[in-house]
Amino acid sequence: MLVVMAVAATEDEIQGVRRHIEKDGLTAHESRGSERVVIGVVGDVGLRKEQVMGHLAVLPGVDTVTPISRPFKLTSREFHPEDTVIEVGDGRVGGGGLTVMAGPCSIEDRDQLMRTADGVAASGATILRGGAFKPRTSPYSFQGLGVEGLELLAEARERTGLPIVTEVMEPSQVDVVAAHADILQVGARNMQNYPLLMAVGRAAKPVMLKRGLSATIEEWLMAAEYIVSSGNPDVILCERGIRTFETYTRNTLDIAAVPLLERLTHLPVIVDPSHATGKRWLVRSMALAAVAAGADGIMVEVHPEPDLALSDGEQSLTLEQFAEMAPVLDQIHAEVAGLAGETV
Ligand code: PEP
Ligand code: MN
């Protein structure tokens, strides 16, 4: 449920409400808007719901108490009407700007990463991506460089100034990945790995949560809820296509998820047209479509020599293709921002 504090509520009154909630064995999560404070109450109230709501409603400083109608609570727009904006390095994800994450699927060696990092930085990427711990379908495929890959990413950040995003596959890797990366990526295959979600929820770095291969929007938001309820409010959602009966594309990009999520949640949304299509020649149009639909950014795979890539070469853009696409993304973004009517 939501406890909406009066505009004039004092800090003592806010703390009084929090204490009351905790005394009841529930958890209080605060959302401080520009006008007033909203306190989300989570926990199992069961049959006590009416009683708990009644007690909260009469506490000093409380304006209204309402149930949250959705199963996801802290990630819902109801709890936090304003967009979440996440500080990453000197930049921000969400809040009206356009985030462009680019880099190789896997970090293969120093030369490949630095060439890619230099290239995408020069063409306007705002965040560098690269996989060090790789979730591969086959145990015989390249599994990533592990910690050595993380060190190379940190070196690429020093060199280009770009913050880095990289995947973490299990709870025991969270500390080492968080020590190197600016954003922890939870991959599609791990979207419902609850111990991992809780572990990144305790980390002090933003998390980018990719949509599961066959996850509904609600399951995805419930996964985000695990992270936020574990203490980490900085979650970025990444639509990367879902599995359908279609086989021409690797996955089916759910573009409608972008405006839908904007309505349901305050979290920023990124689209990954590389994994969504699996085909290099489809990436550009889907990236532009994502920005036109109102996404906060995109993530694309880029490789200096895609045909030699150790993973996902077929869907990786060349440096030249990325350099051609980047200014067009900015153009569409500026165009969409200037449109009248309902915001997208
Ligand atoms: C990736 O981004 O490197 C990746 C493995 O993607 P996904 O988890 O979406 O398959
Ligand atoms: Mn990949």
For 287-306, how does the pLDDT look when each residue is reduced to its tens digit (9 = 90+)? Answer: 999 999 999 999 999 999 99
Dist CA 6 CA 59 (whole Å): 11
| Lowest mean pLDDT segment, chosen from 79-83, 183-187, 255-259 | 79-83
Sign of the torsion formed by the C-alpha atoms of 224, 225, 227 and 231: positive
- Choosing from 166, 210, 211, 316 the residue with most ligand 1 atoms within 8 A of its CB, the one to mutate for a pocket test is 210
At 76, the pLDDT band (50, 70, 90 cuts) reads very high
| d(CA 260, ligand 1 centre) in Å | 22
Percent of the chain past pLDDT 70, that is, above it, reads 99
**Nearest Cα to Cα of residue 276 among 296, 311, 251:** 251
For 233-264, how does the pLDDT look when each residue is reduced to its tens digit (9 = 90+)? Answer: 999 999 999 999 999 999 999 999 999 999 99
- What is residue 343's predicted lDDT score, i.e. its pLDDT? 56
The ligand whose atoms approach the alpha carbon of 311 most closely is 2
For 150-169, how does the pLDDT look when each residue is reduced to its tens digit (9 = 90+)? Answer: 999 999 999 999 999 999 99
Residues flanking ion ligand 2, Cβ below 5 Å: 105, 312
- What is residue 33's predicted lDDT score, i.e. its pLDDT? 87
Query: Which residue puts its alpha carbon closest to atom 4 of ligand 1?
Result: 187
The ligand whose atoms approach the alpha carbon of 130 most closely is 1
Query: Is the per-residue pLDDT at 46 higher than 90?
Result: no
Dist CA 62 CA 41 (whole Å): 13
Q: What pairs with residue 92 in β-bridges?
A: 87
The domain spans of the chain are: 2-66, 86-342
**Three-state secondary structure string covering the chain:** CEEEECCCCCHHHHHHHHHHHHHCCCEEEEEECCCCEEEEEECCCHHHHHHHHHHHHCCCCEEEEECCCCCCCCCECCCCCCCCCEEECCEEECCCCCEEEEECCECCCHHHHHHHHHHHHHCCCCEEECECCCCCCCCCCCCCCCHHHHHHHHHHHHHHCCCEEEECCCHHHHHHHHHHCCEEEECHHHCCCHHHHHHHHCCCCCEEEECCCCCCHHHHHHHHHHHHHCCCCCEEEEECCECCCCCCCCCECCCCHHHHHHHHECCCEEECHHHHHCCHHHHHHHHHHHHHCCCCEEEEEECCCHHHCCCCHHHCECHHHHHHHHHHHHHHHHHHHCCCCCCC
For 104-124, how does the pLDDT look when each residue is reduced to its tens digit (9 = 90+)? Answer: 999 999 999 999 999 999 999
Q: Does domain 86-342 have CATH number 3.20.20.70?
A: yes
| d(CA 250, ligand 2 centre) in Å | 11
Which fold would CATH assign to domain 2-66? Alpha-Beta Plaits (3.30.70)
- What is residue 45's predicted lDDT score, i.e. its pLDDT? 86
- What is residue 263's predicted lDDT score, i.e. its pLDDT? 97
Dist CA 213 CA 190 (whole Å): 9
CB of residue 188 inside a 6 A radius of ligand 1: yes
| d(CA 187, ligand 2 centre) in Å | 10
Q: What is the residue-averaged pLDDT of the chain?
A: 96
Dist CA 86 CA 64 (whole Å): 29
Query: Is the per-residue pLDDT at 36 higher than 70?
Result: yes
Query: Which residue puts its alpha carbon closest to atom 3 of ligand 1?
Result: 105
CB of residue 105 inside a 6 A radius of ligand 1: yes
**Nearest Cα to Cα of residue 18 among 62, 50, 49, 48:** 62
- What is residue 102's predicted lDDT score, i.e. its pLDDT? 98
